[in-house]
Structure 1
Amino acid sequence: MRLSRIFIIATALLFVLVCLPLAWIISSEWSLYRATDDGLEAIRIARLAMVAAERVAYERGPANALLGTAPDQDKLKRMSQVRRDSDVALRTLLAALSPGASSDHRQANQSAQQARRQLNRARDAVDAAAATPSRTTARMMGAVRQMFDVIPPLLEAVTALSAHASAVHPQLANPLSGARLATELREYAGRLGSQLTAALALGRPLTADEKQEVDVLRGRIEQLHSTIRLRLSVPATPPATRQAARLMEQRYFGAGMALVDAVVRAGEQGRAYPVDTAGFAARYVPTMATIITLRDTMLSAAATEALQQHRAALHHLLSAVALGVIALLAQLALFFYIRRQLVQPLLSASRLLTDIAQGRLEAAVPEPRRDNEIGEVLRAIAALRRSSLEKRTLEQERQRLIDELTEISRIDFLTGIANRRAFTEAAEAEISRAVRDGAPAALILFDIDHFKQVNDRHGHDVGDAALTHVASLIARACREGDLAGRYGGEEFVMLTGSGGEAAGAVLAERLRAGIAESPLRLASGQTLALTASFGVAALDDTHRTLHSLLQAADHALYAAKRQGRNQVVRAGQEENEG
């Protein structure tokens, strides 16, 4: 196995061995970060569920007022407003609950959906009871109890979400449970007030069932009160929570319960009640706000601590990622250092020796940076390369001279186009291909008219200039694939594969007109008009070789001269005209 492959495999294995524990650490920190984020979100949604329960409980106050007295515009407007608030709170809760997040979220979502359906039924019952002129205790309390039934599903949602948050943050179980108990306490406090609605509205004493229900509710409230105080007795309870608990003791369990006691005693003794339903709600409901304040304080404390843990998890995650990146960068740096200082020079030396042995000398030998064994090897290779390069340079120079001589032997020295031999070789190959493929081809043979007179009158220098001038016009007239050459003296030849005899005649005519319309400018400033006569022969069954085409074109050329020069004659056309 090659050294480069061994090095890559060893490096990959080391990289995997380092990445596995790093990935495990980062994955663990990521899971913890996601869990704390999930717990924080559960606390937020639990708060939304508590707020929804609170808004629905608030709705019972205007509902009791509507049931207790004749409806008027103010009461109806108040009822419409609190119902909108309840709807907004429920919609916000349902929007925050993702059914696929967890089993606790799904349970909370189902409970919230149930609460919304129950609320719609309860509202229908309240509206029906309020619209009845002669209200009975059974009908009013039936509507009130249906409003009661909305809260338990919301409390179930709170319980599920609080349990989910406590699973992530066990130390938050106490404040989350306390907030849930405060929510339930607020509900039972509201139920206690609603239990007195019928007696206050009808101005009658409390029935035995109502007295029993009031006693049950007060017992449940006291039980919740005791449990909350027990949870607040732990040393870790924040001062703000303790202050909110003291305020609840003064306002609700002081003034609020005193009002309830006064109403209950009046109802038991058959005396007139100290307040009506609206007055009772106006004095009792504000005292229950202290329960909500306690709930919000405990929730805020839990959310604050959860946020701190979330930030700590983020810090740990970022630290793990940073350490992982540093470890990987260090490993990569070591990899590149070893590769640069040891492996790469050895691989380069191996490739250079192979290239030199096979005659490839283009790659430069790297300059040795250190005076060590690798440096000595590279210097030796550089000396070997210089020697081989000098030898190859001499061989290339010899080949260049040979190529130049070969090129000179193929190019006409005066005009710069192909000479007769070069044209003949290329034309024979092209004609063979055209015959094999059944492709068209045409040969054009022409010479400059009265060229001997040009030499006699103006000298051979002007004659040479005329030949060069005509050669330049040929080069401009040639298209891709056309062949052109000087056939001898003032005679030129072209082979075109673009079409047959007609296309060749068109090309010849264009070249003839170009020569006639482009006089040669002499050194004296005068111009010398030139013309040429052309013979064109096409590749066909009769003429299938270069020799045959040349003969046919030559006959046509002489026919053009006989007919007055400066014209194009096709092969076979001269016989018809003769």
Structure 2
Amino acid sequence: MSRLRIQQLQWIGAVAVIMVCLMMAGSTIAFSLSDYINHKRGVTEFGRFHAALHAAAMIARERGPANSLMGASQEEQPQFAAALKASRDETDKDIAKLETLFRTEINQSPEMRSAFMAVKAQLEFGRQTVDAMVAMPRDERSGAKIAEAIQAMFLAADRAQDYRDVAGRSIIALAPETGAEVMLTSMAGTLRERAGRLGSYVVMMLTSQGQARSHYRIAFDSELNRLFEVNALLKTYAPTTLQSQDVAQLLDQVTVSYFAGSLPYAQRVAFESNSGNAPTPAEFTAKYVPGMKSTEILRELIETTALTSLDRVREKAVKAMLVSASLAGMAIVVVIGLAYTLRRSLFRPMLAAIGQIDEIAAGNLATPPPMPHAGREVREMFQRLDILREQQRFKRHLETERKAMTEELRRLSQTDALTGLLNRRALGEAVGRLFSERKAGFRGFGVIMFDIDHFKLINDRHGHAVGDLALQRTAEILGPCLRPNDLFARYGGEEFIIVLCDVSETSARSTAERLRKTLAQAVINDEHGLMVTASFGVDWRAQCAFEDWEKLTMVADKRLYQAKRNGRNLVCFSDALEEMAIVSAVKSGPAGPGVENAA
């Protein structure tokens, strides 16, 4: 086997193993990435389902003030009328939001469109029935007519739950991993609805007589059985599925405040509705609704916990993807190390011995690599050759050290040690080259200066180590958001500068706004829950010479401080103090529990 074929065999084997590792790692990473994407979509879709749940709950909640208003005295009517109007306004907002979020499905799916139109139609009919009843004199409001209005609102709630179920099926079809969360939140909404209906049946019994009252009592008992079934399912599955102690505790609170408080009161009133001591509908509602509030809180907590659970699974998928990538990298390193060891221990000594004989015969005295694992005879031959080559080897070593030191000094002179970004000196050199390399069709230069808000407060509150981490993380977060030919440097302290090449003025502004939002939404330190914001100043010039570089930075710096004076976490690209329209007014969320108002 020739020398060339031995080397080829070695490297072909190593490359083949590395390719297998890459394929296995790629498959694992692709699976993890797909899992992450699916759960991310699940979080988004569950957010839409939340809107359907909330709309159904608001429609059901209208019955409370409606029932009170229909049974109220003349003096009580203004109070309950205002409450009903507020409830209807909230419901209308939720339905409008629902139509916006599900517009595509409503337009494309006959089932979704039919369900949505049924909700709107039945809700309108129910409201008209309630309003007609309220318009009657109180002594003309018979129990049968009040019950008819209540049942009309029942049907509106039924249609809302039908739409909720259709939306839930649509969400599960798009994101199957949300199935358990969708079903649990649906059950929580059903629990709230059943509790509300029990109260409405009691109101109907209080306003009815004879056979009608018996009919509503039967409906009350049937609804009561369904309520217990839903509660039992929630207590069995919700805490375990959502892995939440808070949900378990709140279920116990619902048992105390509703099942041991408001519900027995409703049963007692229903049983004594024929007696002369029965309360008025308004009195009953005033005592029953507060205890039912815990079911509403439970519904909201289960929705929030379900969303948190989906977020947690999504984060696990990200970690799994990172672990897969790390394991793949480790496997490749191990394979490369093994290939190197075989090359050094087996192939290289044998080939070097043959090669050295050829080189000496040809008069080439270049220093060969050391052969620590070669045989004794070959080592003795190498030792004799090394005596002749020692001086040249020493000179080569010195030259290598000199080049390495020169390169390291060059790197240190151009790089900010903390963030790894360009320092101020290197930025000036890079800008000079950038300004001299303009081509035809060049759109202009943009300079963005930004400064971390309340940086001193971060240092004072968390220490300088966390402050340094904030600077490092700022560079890590915003660096990938820039183009390869953009310049990113630390200008001093907590101040950074970005030079955009070949950009329009609009693009420079939008880039600054995108960077501001990206930084405001990122977590700097998980331990402290630290998030930061920054104020941005932007300047743009269609043409600019290197001599004008300082002017650009001065203008951008001036606008940066204008952004701080205007409230921080802003982008300012104008010198006019009064022209607030040119300043981005979109604020980020709270800076996190570790900083409070520090960012």
TM-score when scaled to structure 2?
0.47
> Highest CA radius of gyration, 1 or 2?
1
